[in-house]
Structures are given as C-alpha cells and as structure tokens.
Amino acid sequence: MSDGEITSVSTLAPPIAGRSNTPSLFAAGSMIRLVGGFLAWFGNLGMFSWAVLKAALTPPYEWRELIRQLDEVGSKSFPLVTLAGAAVGVIISLEARYSLSRFGAKSMFPATLVYSVIQVMGPIITGLVVSGRVGAGIGAELASMKVSEQIDAIEASAVNPYRLLAVTRILACILMLPLLTLAADASGLMAGWLAQRLVEPLSFHQFVSSGFSGATFDAFLPPTFKTMVYGLIIGLIASFTGMNTRGGAEGVGRAATNSVVLGSLFLILADVVLVKFILVVFP
C-alpha cells in the first residue's frame, strides 16, 4: 500500500478521543436540560401558586362559581368514591379475617377493619379516585379554555382568571375531600361488616362496640383532615397544568394526563410526609 493510500485512510477515521467524549458531552447536556426544565417547572408552579393566593385573598369572591364547583367535585364524585370505599372494605375484611384466623386473633377483626379503613386506606383511596376524576376534568376543561383563548377573553373583560377559574376549583377540592373521605370510610366499614356477616354471625352493634372501643378523636380526625392537603394538591396541579397548556387538541389531552399523573404522584409523596407528621404530633 502506497503512502498516499495510507494518508487517505487515516483521514477518514475520526480520532479515538473524539469518539469517546461525544456521548459523555451529550449525556451531560441532556442532564443539564432535564434539571433546568425541572427547576423551571417548579418555579412556574410557585409563581402560579402566589398568583392564586393573592386572588383568593382579595375581593370580589366568586361564590356562584364556587358552589357550582362544590357540586362538581362533591356530588358527582360521591358514587365513585363510595364504590371504591366499599371495595376496599371488602378486600380488607377478607384479608384480615384470613390473617387473624391464622394467629388466633379473630376477636381483633372489628378494630383491625376500623383502623385500616379510617386511618390508612380511606383517605388515600379517596384522594386517588378524586385525582383521577376531578383532576383530569379540571385539567382538560382549563386547557380547552386556554387553547381556545377563552381565558384571554375573561382577562380582557376585567375578570381575574385566577380567582374565577383556579381559586374556586382548588377551594372546592379542599372542602369536599374530607366529606368524601367520610363517605368512603362509612361505605368501607359497612361493606366490610357485611362481608364478615355473610361468613360468621357478627351483629352490627358488636362490630361497632368492638371496633371503636378505646378509640379517640386523635386517632381518626387527623387522617380525615389531612385529605384537605390532598385537595390542595389535586386542585393546584390540575389548574396549573390546564392554564399553562399549549398545542391545541394535543395539548388538552396532555394536560388531562399530566394532571392525573402529577397529582397522584405528589399526593402519594404528601401522604408519606403527613403520616410521619401525624405520628409525631399525635403519638
């Protein structure tokens, strides 16, 4: 092979150092963009939350829209929440009966069911169900208003869109989540007792007296009222996602999906923090 051929071949091959550094530089750039987008999203959420807080504390208040949203969040979520609570109660009843029978502790069944439903499963199931139904609805509705420029029209008519659209929906979620949780707890306990009643004789009076014996308000009120934080998360994330969407019909679908996914994720993370907080404050 001549010198000219050797030179031409060598010029075609890129340097080995260049091949090894390019993927690492690309990965570093992707990581920087990911972290930057993550921080920018939280910054935008913080500014949106501040705007919503200012709108909530200044009159005039949109009472009519608030009442409509209370009905939308509460009444229309009630059947689904009670059905989910009943299903959870039956599942816990079956599992608790089997587990307690193995250890000879069947007498602890009422208390186990009551504490499991009211303290653990009732609040989180209610939050996830409402996040799926209400969060998706708020995200899609506000996103549709955004892409069709209805929000701009509301702002042009001297009406604060944060007060009319975001505050009312967030406040409705905060107020209705504890009530929906009580409905889920009640349906779960009734369904659990009925499931046990079909297998073994257990009167409702005996179930209530055994399940709530020694119970105090400190054991049941904090798990119920922590769902107000769930409502804040669901309403805030859904409103923020919907009012900041772009991209036409595709953006509307993306806003509905992100409202459910992000709302459920932050709800679960908040539950971890709130459980620890409740255990410290109400030992």
pLDDT, tens digit (0-9, with 9 covering 90-100), for 23-56? 666 667 777 877 777 788 888 999 999 999 999 9
* Cβ neighbours of 101 (radius 10 Å): 11
pLDDT at 20: 52
pLDDT at 23: 65
Do residue 89 and residue 174 come from a single domain?
yes
Residue 5 lies in a domain: no
pLDDT in tens, 79-126: 999 999 999 999 988 888 878 777 777 778 888 888 889 888 999 999
Residue 209 lies in a domain: yes
- Is pLDDT at 1 greater than 50 in this prediction? no
Do residue 41 and residue 71 come from a single domain?
no
Do residue 102 and residue 29 come from a single domain?
no
DSSP 58: S
Structural domain span for residue 72: 62-281
* Cβ neighbours of 249 (radius 10 Å): 10
Written as one letter, the residue type at 155 is E
Residue 4 lies in a domain: no
Do residue 162 and residue 270 come from a single domain?
yes
Do residue 99 and residue 193 come from a single domain?
yes
pLDDT at 21: 60
Do residue 137 and residue 95 come from a single domain?
yes
Do residue 34 and residue 165 come from a single domain?
no
Q: What is the mean pLDDT of residues 259-273?
A: 93
Q: How many domains does the chain have?
A: 2
How far from the centroid of its chain's Cα atoms is residue 173's Cα?
Answer: 11
pLDDT in tens, 122-170: 999 999 999 999 999 999 999 999 988 888 898 888 888 999 999 999 9
DSSP 200: S
Do residue 32 and residue 165 come from a single domain?
no
Q: What is the mean pLDDT of residues 230-242?
A: 94
